[in-house]
Every structure is written in C-alpha cells, then in structure tokens.
Chains A and B, each alone.
Chain A
Amino acid sequence: MLRERTAVGLAIAAGALLVYNLYQMFMVLPDEALQGAIYRILFFHVPAGIVGMIGYFVALTFSLLYLSSGNLRWDSLSASIVEVSLVFSLVNIVTGSIWARNQWGIWWTWDYRLTSALVCILIFAGYLMMRRAIEEPIQRARLSSALCIFGCVDVVIVWKSIEWFRNNHPGPVLSIRTGGGTMDPAMERILWLNFLAILLIGISLVLVRTRQETMAREIDSLRRFANAV
C-alpha cells in the first residue's frame, strides 16, 4: 500500500515538474542560436540517456545485493530497474535520431558512442529475454544477476568511449563535464529539472513493476503448491 502511494505521489510530482519544465521550454526559453527549435528535444534526450545509464548500475547494485543475501526482492528490483532503464535508453536513441535527422540530415551514424549506446540496449534487451526463458524464480535471479554484472562491465566501455575516441557526436556540454559548460545556464537549469522529472517517473515505474514481479512470484508459488497437492 505504501509502495503504491509512493509511486502515485512520485508520478504526480513528476507530472507537475514536467508541466513547469514544458512551460519554461516553450514559453520562456528562446530558440537556440544555431539549432533552432529542435534543440528542445535535448531536454529529454540527455536526461533519458543519463537516467538509463545510471539505472543499469543501480540494477547492478541490487543484483549484487541479491547474490549476497538471496532475497528475491532485490532481484525483482533489479529486473524492474533494467526494464525501465531500457525504455529510457530507447527514448534517448529515438530522440537523438530525430535531432540528428533535423541537424545532420541522417537518422543514424555509426560513431562509437551511438553504437555503444545501441549495444547497451541490446545487452539489456537480451537480459530481459533471458529472464523470460527461465521459469524457476531462484534460477532466474541467479543467472540474470550474473548477466547483469557482465552487462554493466560492458556499459563502462560506453562511458569511457567519449573520452577515448574522437567522433561526430557532440561533445560534453554539461558544466559538470566541461568545468565551464558550453550551454546557457538557464537552459542547463531546465535540463537538470527535466532530469529530476524523468528520474521521478522512472522511480515510480520501477515501484509499479517491482510490485508486479512480486505478484508474479506469488502466483508461481501458488501454482507449484496446487501441483504438489
């Protein structure tokens, strides 16, 4: 019950923040000097990418917690976080494609960072596919925790790629990455507020999905009990 109220509360807070941010984006902030109106998609593209990436590592933490404690609640959390992070990573890629089509005239380019982002999506899509192929919850938890660890080590390569390789993806623009930043402070403020809104949506979704995973496990155990009787 508390979890449901928390999820609803977070969703409402996220909704309110989004409304404020959208107002700021479309009514207050001017068009960007070089990009025009399309730059506003970056207020969703960048936070979705960050939340997605952070999510994979948070899922890793819960996978490690599961392996050390054996408590299936951690596995449910881990799987739910991966699922939600995957959605945000897809949002990141799709919004990036739309921006690239507008700015560069192409939907996609195979530079290493974009490729690595797509690879991360494939890794964790494989994780979710593998979970579906395993019926027994404890076996599913152990194997997917192991795969999550492998996957997250690969994600590290994604993070490092922007430093390792020069490519045609825009470089870092956030002031925490560049020291001084190449983004207008007002725009960067809305970017971080939208990051917060997307994070709240993500947490809300994770709480809902975790509850569904727990219920699925309860149904599975009832079915096993019925078969045994």
Chain B
Amino acid sequence: MPEAIEIHQLWKFYGDYPAIRDLTLPVAEGSCCALLGRNGAGKTTLLRILAGLSPFQRGSVRVFGDPPRSSEARRRLGFLGHGIGVYEDLSARENLRFFATVCRIEHAKQTADSWLERVGLSRVAMMPVRQFSRGMRQRLALARTFLNTPRILLLDEPFTSLDDRAIAMLSELLVESRVRGVTILLSTHQLREALAIASHVALLENGRLRFTGPRTPEMLDDPGLLYRIHTELGAA
C-alpha cells in the first residue's frame, strides 16, 4: 500500500534545540495512526509540520508525494488543532461558506449547508458563533475540518474538552472516514478512545520516535503498556 505520509529523518529545531530528532515515520494510506506521548514529546509540533504550519530544518516530509506547504497537499488535508478555527463574529453558515471558498470546493454554498445539517446546526445557521454553546462550537469545528472531504486528517487532541454529543459525532465521522480509506493521524492523551479506532500506534518521547507498529489487543487491554515499556520515564 502506498504511503500517504512519508517522514524521513526529520529534525525540527527551535534555535539550536531539537524539538524533533531524526524521526522517520511512514503512514500508509487508509491507516489510522494514534500519536502518543507525554506533554512536550513533540506530537503537536509534528502535526503542525505535516499541516504546513511550521517549517522544519532537516529531513523530508511528503504528503501524498507533495511537500506539506504545497497547495496540492493542503487541498487533501483536514486539520483540527487546539483551537476550533472559526470566526466568532460570523454565523455558522458564513464560516463554512468562507472555508468552502478558500478550499476551492465546487458548490461551496450547498456543501456548507449540507455539513450544517450533518452536525445538527442548520437551525442556528444564521446565528453568530459568539452566541453558540461550547458543544455547538465544537461541532462547527468538526464541520470545518471535514468540509473538503479530506484524504488525510490531522487531529491534535480532538477528544479533549468535547461534550458527549461531539465525541459521538467525531467518532462516527472517524469511522466513516476509515471506511472511505482516509488516512488519519491523531494525537491524544485519551488512550482508550484513540486505540479503539487506531490501526497503528506511534509513541514519541522528547522528539524521538520510541515505538511504531500495529495496534494490538494487548494495547487496548492495557493502554499504559506502551509507556511503561518504551519510554525512559516509564522505565524509571
């Protein structure tokens, strides 16, 4: 199976300090890779590099054969970072129509409206996001992320601070995406939710890749196993 994401000997520096060290990680098309690691391990940094938000200094990164900053790569991408990425002063409909336009989606208005329907926000489509509850904002963020039917999803701690309805919606969208053969790379502290849908696991510690491989039933039974075996802090 061809690789959707190819990361080869990647180094990312902040000044002279290496935040990512000699990281090589191929992610096969259609797989779902859970990116694990403690705070400061480099998960967010790696996702931002893949999304084209952060430059790197050594090595190579390819998204379906293209550099992350290329418009071809970004057109295939859905990215959900720590922020929800929607404008408070625009309505839900205006937000989605704007992002549909910048993503160069044909029939932008219809696509935006159908996603509003999908995430259960069509009744409040004209309301400014400023007046939304937290759960409503999270669902709008999901709509924005999936709007352009991405072939690769980069999700940075997507389950964090989601309410039950949003978690259910996200899980449903992820399962659907997996069926469609979408490649998913998600970082998380919520091991059980991530390992339940992941086909592969990658464990980072201090910018280094400590472990990568298929997700096994043992990991599902004991999510902390990986940390205990493969990290220096776990060994200590």
**Stretch among A38-46, A103-111, A181-189, A221-229 lining the B interface:** A221-229
**Shortest Cβ distance from B13 into A: residue:** A138
What is the CA–CA distance of A72 and B57 in the complex, to the nearest angstrom? 11
Q: How many residues of A contact B (CB 8 A)?
A: 13
B40 within 8 A of A: yes
Instruction: Tell me which residues from 192 to 229 in chain A have a Cβ below 8 Å from any Cβ of chain B.
Output: 217-218, 220-221, 224-225, 228
What is the CA–CA distance of A138 and B13 in the complex, to the nearest angstrom? 8
Q: For residue B18, give the distance in angstroms from its CB to the closest CB of chain A.
A: 9
A70 pairs with B57, CB closer than 8 A: yes
* Prevailing SS type, chain A contact patch: helix
What chain A residues lie within 8 Å of B14 (beta carbons)?
136-138, 221, 224
Q: Could you say which interface size class chain B belongs to?
A: under 10
B15 pairs with A137, CB closer than 8 A: yes
B17 pairs with A225, CB closer than 8 A: yes
B106 within 8 A of A: no
Write out, one digit per residue, whether chain B residues 175-201 have a CB within 8 A of any chain A CB (1) or not (0). 000000000000000000000000000
B57 pairs with A221, CB closer than 8 A: no
B55 within 8 A of A: yes
Write out, one digit per residue, whether chain B residues 11-39 have a CB within 8 A of any chain A CB (1) or not (0). 00111110000000000000000000000
Q: For residue A2, give the distance in angstroms from its CB to the closest CB of chain B.
A: 21
What is the CA–CA distance of A220 and B15 in the complex, to the nearest angstrom? 7
The 4 A-B residue pairs whose C-beta atoms are closest, nearest first, are A137-B15, A221-B16, A221-B17, A224-B17
B interface residues (Cβ-Cβ under 8 A, vs A): 13-17, 40, 55, 57, 206
